């Protein structure tokens, strides 16, 4: 049996994993059983950024259905691009352009749309193939958090699971909302002016003061199910009080996660039946 969950996420840091913020970050990803059986790769992706005064995490879930011969897409590409671009854009807006955290949403939408258009221009598909290319290579939902010394903010575009200080937020109704759908109007060329009404905007899911924040968990919809939630160590692992073991920045907690959550879940399910869908999570806890 292959090892469950590993660091199949992108990690970025310009501070050598040193942060002044009193938070630890940890995340893992796993290809789902249903994708293994259909010879489809992991279409989830995650990206983490650790800076001296800034922490960012993003998970993205690529849409599996597509217009290829097998009716499947290649949106592991879209998930990877989206999770990376969201982290890169947020860092640029905060560090380079000094945008205030409460004002990030509109700037993020504009920048992400510009980057998606540029990618479309590079691919340069025939007009009749445009929507097919977008659907097959750029379609993904995403969840992300940004934490500074003063504020935290959580954005979403599509469904998934979000927990703040142990409290779950309902995003089920957001399923099927992909930011790349903003490019699917045939009358809109890739290089049109920035004046564009978004058909799928980014949503501010939660926001608050950093000193009120104890934990955040963001996960693609393949990660959470009943047995996961009912695992005795689920709440303590993700939402429990701080531990002296945790250091500011990214922490290696693979062993603790596998023995404390993955193994008990598999025992409850009497074998390898989880995760059915691709599953990716990023956890933030106060140190």
pLDDT confidence of residue 193:
54
Task: Print pLDDT tens along the chain (287 aa).
Answer: 556 899 999 999 999 999 999 999 999 999 999 888 788 889 999 999 999 999 999 999 999 887 777 788 889 999 999 999 999 999 999 999 999 999 999 999 999 999 999 999 999 999 888 899 999 999 999 999 999 999 999 999 999 999 999 999 989 889 989 999 999 865 455 555 555 578 899 999 999 999 999 999 999 999 999 889 998 899 999 998 766 789 999 999 999 999 999 999 988 887 778 999 999 999 999 99
Three-class DSSP labels, the chain: CCCCCECCCEEEECCCCCCCCCEEEEEEEECCHHHHHCCCCCCEEEEEEECCCEEEEEEEEECCECCCCCCECCCHHHHHHHHHHHHHHHHHHHHHCCCCHHHHHHHHHHHHHHHHHHHHHHHCCCHHHHHHHHHHHCCEEEEEEEEECCEEEEEEECCCEEEECCEEECCHHHCCCCHHHHHCCCCCCCCCCCCCCCCCCCEEEEEEEHHHCCEEEEECCCCCCHHHHHCCHHHHHHHCCCCCCCCCEECCCHHHHHHHHHHHHHHHCCCCCCCCCCEEEEEEEEC
Domains of the chain by start residue, with CATH: 10-269 (3.60.40)
pTM value is 0.94
pLDDT at residue 187, as a whole number? 46
């Amino acid at each position: 049996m292959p090892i469950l969950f590993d660091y199949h996420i992108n990690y970025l840091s310009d501070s050598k994993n040193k942060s002044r913020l009193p938070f630890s970050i940890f995340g893992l990803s796993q290809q789902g059983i249903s994708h293994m059986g259909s010879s489809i790769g992991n279409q989830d992706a995650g990206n983490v950024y650790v800076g001296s005064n800034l922490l960012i995490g993003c998970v993205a879930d690529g849409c599996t259905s597509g217009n290829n011969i097998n009716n499947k897409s290649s949106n592991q590409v879209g998930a990877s691009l989206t999770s990376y671009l969201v982290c890169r854009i947020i860092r640029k807006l905060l560090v380079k352009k000094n945008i205030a955290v409460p004002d990030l949403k509109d700037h993020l939408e504009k920048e992400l749309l510009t980057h998606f258009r540029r990618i479309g221009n590079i691919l340069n598909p025939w007009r009749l193939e445009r929507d097919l290319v977008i659907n097959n290579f750029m379609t993904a939902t995403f969840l992300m958090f940004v934490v500074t010394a003063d504020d935290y903010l959580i954005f979403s575009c599509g469904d998934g699971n979000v927990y703040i200080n142990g409290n779950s937020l309902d995003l089920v109704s957001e399923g099927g909302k992909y930011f790349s759908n903003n490019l699917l109007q045939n009358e809109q060329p890739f290089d049109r002016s920035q004046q564009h009404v978004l058909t799928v905007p980014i949503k501010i899911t939660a926001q608050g003061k950093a000193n009120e924040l104890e934990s955040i968990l963001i996960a693609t919809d393949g990660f959470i199910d009943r047995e996961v939630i009912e695992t005795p160590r689920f709440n303590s692992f993700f939402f429990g009080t701080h531990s002296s073991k945790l250091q500011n920045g990214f922490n290696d907690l693979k062993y603790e996660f596998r023995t404390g959550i993955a193994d008990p879940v598999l025992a409850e399910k009497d074998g390898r039946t989880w995760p059915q869908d691709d599953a990716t999570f990023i956890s933030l806890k106060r140190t």
